[in-house]
Chains A and B, each alone.
Chain A
Amino acid sequence: MIDVDLDQQLGAFHLAVKFSADAPIVGLFGRSGAGKTSVVNAIAGIARPARGHIRINDVSLFDAAKGIDLPPEERRIGYVFQDALLFPHMDVRSNLLYGQRLRSSADRFVEEARVVELLGLGELLHRKPNTLSGGEKQRVAIGRALLAQPRILLMDEPLAALDIPRKTEILDYIERLRDELSMPIVYVSHSVAEISRLADTVVVLSDGKCIAVGEVDEVMGRLDLRPATGRYEAGSLLETKVVAHDLDDQLTTLAFDGGELIVPRLEAAIGERVRARIRARDVSLATQRPAGISILNVLPGCITAMDMGAGPIVDVQLAVGSTTLNARITRRSLQHLGIHVGQNVYVLVKAVSFDQRSVGYA
């Protein structure tokens, strides 16, 4: 449980954020300059808000009214920075143990051996930080934060400095932490793909204010939040279950309550819950069931809303079963097909538009 209510003036920027969230992974989402890092710094005790309170699991870290302001070293917040910030004069093992050594043994619940195994750090222990790759550095940084025995892990854009294969790798590791250590995580990002894959609850920040809190698929699908969530990355999230693997064609079938989706082969067991993200620009619409087409996923749906805007692009919201999907089409297509709200259409999604980053374990 994380409960934040704070006001802070930072130059011309006014931060006034209030939210509370209780989820294994809370996503803190917003464009750059929205105030994400300021909120994280206030939680970690690096910056002091003028007013308000910060509570984690009912422990007050900051409360202006009661005069509580714990210094960073007493807050027990595992802060993972954008660029790992490993101590250059220590080897990996000394980095890992830096925080653990400062906690009394009564406070220790995360073991060194467990962290080394979970994050695959065994080979790196005696290396110096400057000999590590970006992904390795970030893994060590996560391990170091965990071994400081935190109440909560704060990750501020931990993938920003990494290339795409490394991003996928770290995302897998973060999911393992959530599942195996049940460590609550606040994950800060401006990437819809990362937030929607990892987070359960999302907090949307815009211009120093919290404009929405809620379930990820609900919040990220809302058309009225488009200015903050961004048009380009618009999409929808589906909670699905693995129902079949086709080993010959290397495909996996996912079921959700609006039908089935075929995606490239996933390393997941039958029956496992999987979260799939479909970008709005990967969704096409047809007024009749198309024939002679390469697209594998054709689902019947009904148009529930349209966001016309001024430009050439129109965002269309559809109901497929009880699931909401977003499609992005041109204004010309819309006029050509004569689509209107309430109409029944076919929703087309290419199987190849699902990639490693858009499908993850729920």
Chain B
Amino acid sequence: MEKQRITLAVTGLNNTDNPGPGVPMIRGIKESPDFDVRVVGLVYENLEPGIYMEGLCDRIFQIPYPSSGSDELIERIEHINRQETIDVLVPNFDAELFTFMKNEERLKSQGIHMFLPTLQQFQEREKHRLPEFGKKYGVKVPFSINLGGLGQITEMEDKFDYPVMVKGQFYDAYKAHNKEEVKQAFLNISAKWGLPVIAQEFISGTEVNVVALGDGKGNTVGAVPMRKQYITDKGKAWGGITLADDKMMELTRSLIRGTEWKGGMELELIKTKGGEYYCVEINPRVPAWVYLAVGAGQNIPEALVKLALGQEVKPMTAYKIGKMFVRYSYDLIVDLEKFAVISMNKEI
């Protein structure tokens, strides 16, 4: 059968120590037996490693941060689309998702398909709304309060013991052992990610995660559970292994069923010594370790693109247990010309 030719635009090519899911996403789709893919890399910074990785992207375009205005970002995408005719766009950053969700119809009318959570799904799983989310969908979540100012730290101390997790709305999390550390974390996080800052009960246990894909009708199209084996000081998985854990799978399926989740997601869970699972975060996109799912037998990136194109995808239920990923760093040697072109022309 002839492969379907598509042009795919992807963000998140920052394969740094805080990696985005763009590169593994592209890697997964390139392995699809059904697609002949032309890749348009969308980058925010001119040093995102994905720009310089040979054979990864056919074109690269720099785009403005969503913080510089929703219209500016969307107009840039429309400009790129006039040159490249994008079939599918996969945004991979939490901070840009809102803008893309708001403009889904506008982009669709120009032939750009996406497969994103609905605004309601996106908002109700936000970190500062997690306690209500847990109650609504019957999932254990850590107790948390939203800090709008330094003054609330004393109020927080009345409600839970140290250590506490101090988290930003989109990124960043610090484990704080006393009031001073909470203050420091609050200041760091609020300066970068704004308010509220979330103070969350610290749950002791093993960090386990699930990458999953929901079809928007309550069905789980794919799901692979993983345990982080090596964690960086930024809390990112540098090594992980797929698990055989029915409880995690059932929890995932029940959440996707309950929320009718549409799109990729990452469930971040803590498994306590007593075997209980606490949901500490739900990321509304696939994680940077999504290629582990591909390696274990579920090409979630490919399935996501198919769903975006309105194609039918049969749920994938099997995966290889005990498959591991080990991340590595690698120095790309780059000619100054390439850096100069992306810096000056904003495209390659």
A binds B: no
